[in-house]
Structure 1
Amino acid sequence: MFDDFFSLDGRAFLPFGTSHVVMIIIYGVGLVLLIIFSTLKKRSFYPKTYNLIRWFLFFWLVTSEVSYQAWTIATGIWSLSEHIPLHLCGIASITVALALLLQNKLLGYLSFYIGFIPPLLALITPELPYDYSHFRYWKFFVHHIVISWASLFVILTSSSTLTYLSVLRSFGILLIYAAFIGFFVNPVINANYLFLRETPLANTPLDYFGTGVLYYVNLCLVALIVFSVQWAVIHFLKKRQEFAKPLRRIG
């Protein structure tokens, strides 16, 4: 059974089957609990609970990535073109782990913009070979759920005011990163990081972005729109609920 858990064989993943829906529900419940927790900053238990959540998220981010890399190496499938964490969720996993560790303001809001929605979309339309209870099933869902949770957590628990300038800065950083991946990394190692050469095998919203130059234009426009909506929602929540300054801060 242990060998089957880590093998290269297993039951094919069934989108929106029971194992898929359960993970989406878990994600939603956790999201609600994090939002509720962020409103309790004046409570005496907040500092200790904050650190418990912070280190819990950090642990699973690191464990998920390290275990996945170890699995791909052990099974002999690791390759430069597929297994470096250069996709948006992979980079978000790294930046949000560092944001949790260092409590850095720039990493915090960058992680929020690039790490909240992409993992959520991945959870809804997984590009996943194996279903429950294979290692890849657990790694995929645990990792993407925690990336999105952590990206929201660092913003909701931050004392920093999230201005629209953070949207423009994050968008600019993303454009520079995408250009580096698209013009240098993907051609050199024949990869498809950030899905800049072609869309994922699974059915995703990227399938509706067109082809050629239109595909890249739509990627940029949608990224800016999504970043702006995320900023507006968090700005509204913090202003509406009059969030008090947290006992610990990012930055």
Structure 2
Amino acid sequence: MEKFFSLYYKGQPLKVFSPHHRAALYVILGVIILLYIFRDKLREEPLKKTSRYTIGTLLLVQQLLYYAWHIYTGIWSLQESLPFNLCAVTIFLEIIMLFSERYDIFEIIYFFGLGGATQALITPDIQGYGFPHFRFFQFFIAHGLIVIIVFYMVFVYQYRPTIKSIIKTFKMLIAFGIIVAVVNLLTGGNYSYLCEKPPSPSLMDILGPWPWYILSLLGIATLTFIIVYLPFAIKDYIEKRKEVKKAKSKV
């Protein structure tokens, strides 16, 4: 058990798309598929409320365990342990949303979750830790739940974003970036990788040096928001076409 929580990990570090990495991704994908299959059942009370509270509690517990691990190993610091990474903010927003059913928060976490956490899952940055260390499980549970909860709200609660949601989320992203920049300046940290790129391979590696990769990331974020909105845009277009054809047939 001590090795499980140890700061010094002597096992093999996680490699992108290694068997353990792929297995974690398959589990997350499997849960999403199950959510879709059983979406009607999950809409029934009291299961609907129970599942929402259970997922929210699980998300909160894993995040508290992450901070507890920082304290236990003696690495807690203002530079690395504050919740000023995009995924950490998304986690706390999702917890509030799950316990309050707030649609206005869903509008933001839909894009933050699918845009940010998905990229993190594909190129995980776990500082050299791997299976079966605590950080391996915590990382994939945290980021996996971020994505799973987005689909949960879409499938079960039938929430959906709008064009205005994209604009709202982009404004939120800019405001968050300004706040994080100030926090980094005050603490000497590198929250949200605004000061330098992560040590592990990531999309940022092909986006140029600092600070230009930050501007590139804003462009990619905008494109990503549009892409993840496309399923709803296509659905709206198809339904509108059907309505037009139906109206013409009655004439």
Question: If the length of structure 2 is used for normalisation, what is the TM-score?
Answer: 0.86
Map of 1:32 onto structure 2: 33
Measure how far apart 1:172 and its partner are: 0.5
Alpha-carbon contact 2:196-2:210 (below 8 Å) kept = no
SS at match of 1:81: coil
Which amino acid in the other structure matches residue 12 of structure 1? Q
- Pick one of 185, 188, 195 that aligns with 1:187: 185
Which is higher, the Rg of structure 1 or of structure 2?
2
Cα 1:146–1:108 shift into 2, 3 Å: same
- Tell me which residue corresponds to 1:144: 143
Q: Identity of aligned pairs, percent? A: 25
| Inter-CA distance 118–196: structure 2 relative to 1 (3 Å threshold) | same
CA distance in 2, matches of 1:108, 1:127: 26
Aligned to 2:51: 53
Structure 2 counterpart of 1:177, one-letter code = F
Kept after mapping to 2: 8 A contact 1:89/1:119:
yes
Q: Which residue of 2 aligns with 1:222?
A: 220
Query: What's the counterpart of residue 6 of structure 1?
Result: 5
Q: 1:112·1:155 contact (CA, 8 Å) conserved in 2?
A: no
Please give the alpha-carbon distance, in whole angstroms, between the structure 2 residues aligned to 1:68 and 1:111.
21
Contact 2:117–2:144 (CA under 8 A) maintained in structure 1: yes
**What is the CA–CA distance in structure 2 between the aligned matches of 1:175 and 1:44, rounded to whole Å?**
35
Q: Deviations over 1:227-249 (max 9, x none)?
A: 111122244457769xxxxxxxx
The structural deviation recorded for 1:159 is 4.8
Query: 1:125-140, aligned counterparts within 5 Å?
Result: 125-128=123-126, 129-140=128-139
CA contact (8 A) 1:60 1:143 kept: no
Opposite residue 33 of structure 1, the aligned amino acid is L
The Cα offsets for residues 6-62 of structure 1, whole Å up to 9 and x where unpaired, read as 111221323122221110110111122223344x3xx69633443343123212210
Shift of 1:69: 0.5
4+ aligned runs moved over 4 Å, structure 1: 237-241
Aligned twin of 2:96: 98
Report matched runs for 1:41-190 at 5 Å.
Answer: 46-128=44-126, 129-159=128-158, 162-182=161-181, 184-190=182-188
Q: Structure 1: which 5+ runs fail to align? A: 242-251
What's the counterpart of residue 19 of structure 1? Answer: 20
CA distance in 2, matches of 1:116, 1:149: 9
**Counterpart-to-counterpart distance in 1, 2:215 and 2:164:** 21
C-alpha separation between the residues in 2 aligned to 1:55 and 1:44?
13
Output the aligned Cα RMSD.
2.3
Contact 2:195 2:210 in 1 (8 A): no
Structure 2's unaligned 5+ residue stretches are: 240-251
Q: SS at the partner of 2:80?
A: helix
